[in-house]
Amino acid sequence: MPTAAQKFMVFDQDSFLSICNGDHELENNLLNVISHSLIKETYKLEMAGNQRETEGLRQQWHHLKGTLGGLGQLHLCKIIDQLEASDHAFSPSNLLLHSSFVNKLKILALEMEKFSKMKQKISN
């Protein structure tokens, strides 16, 4: 049975290492790059959502789909598919899904950042 903490864990360290071909140096570099990018992309996504920019929002979803796909975050990619499939980017149901997606992204970015810092401490 997973513990409560494991249930909320969205970043799978083992599968991330396998994405990096088991290369720890690459893992460290990528963790650093992706956690920073994710924070930046999430901010842009929030801005596009707040400013009701349909094109900007769709572009951000698409960018994130590539990044998250590369991270093996398929459940988040499926949410983007759902968001993209809607004709109205700002429909009430899409807005609700969008805000839950943004929250999940923030958790993922924070977990990655935390893991990246932990790895840096260990290597130092």
Partner 1 sequence: MDTVSQTISKKKIVYVIDDSESYQKILQAHLDQLGFQVVSFFSVKDCLNSQHPKPDVILLDQNLGDGELGTNHLPQLRSRIPAVPIVFLSVDGNVSIVTEAVRKGAFDYIEKNSAAFVRLRTTLDNVFNSFDKQKRIRQKILVVLGILGFLALMVLWGWYFGQL
Kindly list the residues in this chain that would bind partner 1 in the complex (CB under 8 A).
15, 19-21, 23, 25-26, 29-30, 33-34, 37-38, 40-41, 59, 62-67, 69-72, 74, 77
Exposure b/e, 72-106, CB count within 10 A at least 16 = b: ebeebbebbeebeeeeebeeeebeebbeebeebbe
Nearer to partner 1, 62 or 88 (CB): 62
In the complex, the smallest distance separating the C-beta of residue 7 from partner 1, rounded to whole angstroms, is: 22
Nearer to partner 1, 5 or 25 (CB): 25
In the complex, the smallest distance separating the C-beta of residue 37 from partner 1, rounded to whole angstroms, is: 4
Vertex 88 angle, CA 82 and 90, to 5°: 90
Nearer to partner 1, 33 or 118 (CB): 33
In the complex, the smallest distance separating the C-beta of residue 51 from partner 1, rounded to whole angstroms, is: 17
In the complex, the smallest distance separating the C-beta of residue 97 from partner 1, rounded to whole angstroms, is: 18
Nearer to partner 1, 32 or 95 (CB): 32
